[in-house]
Amino acid sequence: MSAELLIEPREVAPALRVIAVRTPTLPPATHTNAFLVGDGDVVLVEPATPFEDEIERVVSWVEDTVERERLRLRAILLTHHHPDHVGGAAALRERLRAPLWAHPQTAERLSGRVQIDHLMEHGERIELDGKRPTVLEAVHTPGHAPGHLCFLETHSRALIAGDMVAGVGTILVEPHDGDMQLYLQSLEAMDALGASMLLPAHGGVIADAHEKLRFYISHRLAREAKVLAALRGLTQNGTYVSARELVPIAYADTPQAAWPFAQGAATAHLIKLEREGRAAQRAAQWLAI
Ligand SMILES: [Zn+2]
């Protein structure tokens, strides 16, 4: 795995180019990767940046590449609705005169702010004509965000992974947009694709897709075990506790600065445990059962 930032455009697989643009994302990440896929018809994935200078850089990159190589930009694809992924969606739709494509649940969450021109469902195949025709397959991967899509490029089997995995930093799974049970199921589904590499939204290329996905799954399950152990310890006498009270125990190995985020993740684990009959909830207070 390379932690290297891909700020200057480069080709990470045949007909698969990437540029990292500065975005208001979660530290330690500072940039979001945008991808240009195809060598005839092309699509741009992740219209991420809201910053004007960075929008200019993306416009120049796309326009220069399209002109130099006589390409045709067909669409701009969204992985999900978070601001560090759609900050430039409306501006790039105008500037590049290309339609925005997204999952229906992403379109719903952007309603009134960003106009989506085409809804993409799980399994949709985006066929791109070119010297070597390319297919991008949309894979619905809820868990971090309800409408999250990954895109599998079927020649190289590179998987554009959005915010399901990260080359730098960690992935937030919290109850407002996320669902821990679905997140783990989606990671399993991604592993079953047999991708050759993962192209995350933040950080460098992840060369061993299988190893990274297994690590993510085992890491979450290990954390869940710690949340459950903390819950058992604190609720032995039948008293319910809040997710916040569990954090210093279940996340003792993480920096305190991350604890406000840990509270959301702990809640996502607790909701999963409740569905599995291993925890009970009463007015946002929890008990091990
Ligand atoms: Zn996100």
DSSP string, 147-194: T-EEEEETTT-EEEEETSS-SSS-----TTT--HHHHHHHHHHHHHTT
The CA 145 to ligand 1 mean position distance, Å, reads 7
Average pLDDT over every residue of 159-172: 93
The residues whose Cβ lies within 5 A of ligand 1, an ion, are 82, 163
The CA 60 to ligand 1 mean position distance, Å, reads 25
Average pLDDT over every residue of 52-67: 96
The CA 194 to ligand 1 mean position distance, Å, reads 23
- 20-29, 30-39, 177-186: which has the minimum mean pLDDT? 20-29
The CA 241 to ligand 1 mean position distance, Å, reads 29
Average pLDDT over every residue of 77-96: 97
Average pLDDT over every residue of 186-208: 97
pLDDT above 70: residue 63: yes
Looking at residue 27, its pLDDT comes to 83
Task: Using alpha carbons, list the distances in angstroms from residue 76 to 115, 138, 174, 263.
Answer: 12, 13, 27, 34
pTM for the whole thing?
0.94
Quick one: pLDDT band at residue 1, thresholds 50, 70, 90? Answer: very low
The CA 277 to ligand 1 mean position distance, Å, reads 29
The CA 72 to ligand 1 mean position distance, Å, reads 28
Per the prediction, the chain carries an average pLDDT of 95
Q: Which residues does 123 contact at the CB level (< 8 Å), separation at least 6?
A: 137, 138, 139
The CA 47 to ligand 1 mean position distance, Å, reads 13
pLDDT tens-digit series, residues 122-152: 999 999 999 988 999 999 999 999 999 999 9
Average pLDDT over every residue of 242-263: 94
Average pLDDT over every residue of 276-281: 97
The CA 201 to ligand 1 mean position distance, Å, reads 9
Average pLDDT over every residue of 6-28: 88
Burial 211-231 (b: 16+ CB within 10 A, else e): ebbeebbeebeebbebbbebb
pLDDT above 50: residue 3: no
Q: Which residues does 26 contact at the CB level (< 8 Å), separation at least 6?
A: 84, 169, 172
Average pLDDT over every residue of 176-183: 97
The CA 14 to ligand 1 mean position distance, Å, reads 27
Average pLDDT over every residue of 18-43: 93
Quick one: pLDDT band at residue 183, thresholds 50, 70, 90? Answer: very high
Looking at residue 5, its pLDDT comes to 65
Looking at residue 244, its pLDDT comes to 96
Percent of the chain residues past pLDDT 70, beyond the cut: 98
Average pLDDT over every residue of 99-120: 98
The CA 144 to ligand 1 mean position distance, Å, reads 7
Looking at residue 4, its pLDDT comes to 58
Quick one: pLDDT band at residue 8, thresholds 50, 70, 90? Answer: confident
- 5-9, 53-57, 154-158, 278-282: which has the minimum mean pLDDT? 5-9
pLDDT above 60: residue 268: yes
Percent of the chain residues past pLDDT 90, beyond the cut: 89
